[in-house]
Amino acid sequence: MTKEDFRKILNLEEFIDIIKVETGDEKTKCIHIKSSRKKARCPKCNNFSKKIHDYLKPSKITYLKNSEEETYLIVYKRRFECKYCKKTFTEDLGISSPKNKMSHKTKQLILK
């Protein structure tokens, strides 16, 4: 499967970059993702900030887990510093818990 296939299956936003897909063993996949955006919107004052404060430790989200298949998203997030209100905030990649949204068919696709 190509990265684009993964993007479609996982229903990722356009600005999400798939860094790499790691296959651990037969049933484990780790999909590393980050934002390709150069800026993020400050949740406090709504201005865009380009100033990166630091990089967070990647977080691991369980995307799919059953007896045959385990798929994880490894999410790399940055913290930005707003130059207007000085607030430091973490960017939002729009990754919500996708488990409920995924149809059985989608799960079958990932299994292949």
Q: Which stretch binds Zn ion (CB under 5 A): 2-10, 17-25, 28-36, 86-94?
A: 86-94
Tokens of 37: 């955006």
* d(C-alpha 41, C-alpha 78), whole Å: 12
Find the part of the chain contacting Zn ion (CB under 5 A) among 11-19, 58-66, 84-92, 102-110. 84-92
Which amino acid appears at position 31 of this protein? I
List 1, 15, 62, 84, residue binding Zn ion (CB under 5 A)? 84
Q: Does 42 bind Zn ion (CB under 5 A)?
A: yes
| Among the listed residues 8, 20, 44, 99, the single contact to Zn ion using CB under 5 A | 44
Per the structure block, which two tokens stand in for 46?
């709504």
DSSP 67: S
Task: For residue 82, state whether it binds Zn ion (rule: CB under 5 A).
Answer: yes
Pair 80, 42: CB distance under 8 Å: yes
Token pair of 26 as six digits: 């037969």
Asked whether position 83 contacts Zn ion by CB under 5 A, the answer is: no
Both tokens assigned to 27: 């049933």
Closest CA to 10 of 91, 67, 75: 75
Q: Should residue 12 be labelled a site residue for Zn ion when binding is judged by CB under 5 A?
A: no
Q: Which one of 7-15, 26-34, 58-66, 85-93 is the stretch in contact with Zn ion (CB under 5 A)?
A: 85-93
- Using CB under 5 A, list all residues that contact Zn ion: 42, 44-45, 82, 84-85, 87
